[in-house]
A and B are shown apart, each in its own frame.
Chain A
Amino acid sequence: MATQNRSFRTPRANVTGLGAAHHGTEHFWRQRLTALANLLLIVPFLWILAAAYGRDYASAVAIVSHPFSAVVLLLLVVSVAIHMRIGMTVVIEDYLPNKAQRVVAVIANTFFCAAVGLVGVFAIVKLSVGRLLL
């Protein structure tokens, strides 16, 4: 490796700012970072979903508003919103041939994922803080 790379530039410097969107490997790295977070959070999430599925209102609120559930759900909804935004962006860039449509779709996707993430955060915070105030 050392003999092959005679430049003083680091491997990172060689990719920073490259690519179609001039973001280097940022996209690639963030997709993997959120994928790992999702992988770790999915087990407690499925536990919460299984526990709350089909329950009456009071029981479902008690399960979802528990501090452990609230923290898991908050982390997951933020990580998923970032992950799904990147994933959909890649699909849009692959399949929409018209550049104007592509730019509009990428912006719409970003707004939509931000809204989904924020609505999720709002709902979880309202449930968990509401429990504290009761």
Chain B
Amino acid sequence: MAEVQAKSPARRLEDIRPLSPHLQIYRWTWTMAMSVFHRMTGMALYAGTVLIVGWLLALAAGPGPYECARWLMTSIIGKLVLIAYTWALFHHLLGGVRHFIWDTGAGFERDARMALAKFTLVGSIVLTIAFWVIVALVR
């Protein structure tokens, strides 16, 4: 703090200014929850992309590394991570579609935004189940 106070007032203000709204003071609503989910799934997909690239790299590296990646992916934990990854992918995708609708200026009315918020959650769960059912059937 002492170091901060030694600087110019403008600089000090910049350092202490709150950057984002405090989530804990708001009452939870569907639209707020899905906004938080959109950001959280985005962060999860950041890690998920690293895993997918790791899988591609293992495949490019040869049979040994690939067997290791395959063992991980087909293990119980691996399957749970993949299901979570696909759910995050579908949720973020539908959240993105919601943002595209909003970008046109539509979907801001009370009923429309509630329906869109619920649609992202229900839709992502339905798509995740559908995807893994298809994978199981193709096997």
State the A residues within 8 Å of B (CB).
Answer: 32, 35-36, 38-39, 42, 46, 49-51, 53-57, 60-61, 64, 73, 77, 80-81, 84, 87-88, 91, 93-99, 116, 119-120, 122-124, 126-127, 130
Note all chain A residues with C-beta closer than 8 A to B96: 35, 38-39
* B138 touches A (CB below 8 Å): yes
Contact of B15 among A60, A97, A122 (CB under 8 A): A97
Is B67 touching A57 in the complex (CB atoms < 8 A)? Answer: yes
* Known contacts A57-B66, A123-B56; A99 and B46 CB within 8 A of each other: no
The 6 residue pairs across chains A and B that have the minimum distance between CB atoms: A123-B60, A123-B56, A120-B53, A94-B20, A57-B63, A126-B60
By secondary structure, the B interface counts as helix
Note all chain A residues with C-beta closer than 8 A to B52: 49, 120
CB closest residue in chain A, given B132: A50
Is A60 touching B66 in the complex (CB atoms < 8 A)? Answer: yes
Is B134 touching A50 in the complex (CB atoms < 8 A)? Answer: yes
Is B59 touching A91 in the complex (CB atoms < 8 A)? Answer: no
* B93 touches A (CB below 8 Å): yes
* Known contacts A39-B96, A88-B43; A94 and B19 CB within 8 A of each other: yes
Is B59 touching A61 in the complex (CB atoms < 8 A)? Answer: yes
Note all chain A residues with C-beta closer than 8 A to B135: 50, 53
14 A-B pairs whose Cβ atoms sit less than 8 Å apart in the complex: A32-B99, A38-B96, A42-B93, A50-B131, A50-B134, A53-B82, A54-B74, A77-B53, A94-B20, A97-B19, A122-B60, A126-B60, A127-B56, A127-B60
Is B89 touching A116 in the complex (CB atoms < 8 A)? Answer: no
By secondary structure, the A interface counts as helix
Note all chain B residues with C-beta closer than 8 A to A64: 56, 59
Closest Cβ of chain A to B84, distance in Å, is 14
CB closest residue in chain B, given A120: B53
Closest Cβ of chain A to B42, distance in Å, is 5
Note all chain B residues with C-beta closer than 8 A to A126: 60
Note all chain B residues with C-beta closer than 8 A to A88: 43, 46
Is A124 touching B56 in the complex (CB atoms < 8 A)? Answer: yes
Rounded to whole angstroms, the CA-CA distance of A61 and B66 in the bound complex is: 10
Rounded to whole angstroms, the CA-CA distance of A73 and B42 in the bound complex is: 19
Is A53 touching B73 in the complex (CB atoms < 8 A)? Answer: yes
Chain A CB within 10 Å — which of B43, B46, B96, B100 has the most?
Answer: B46
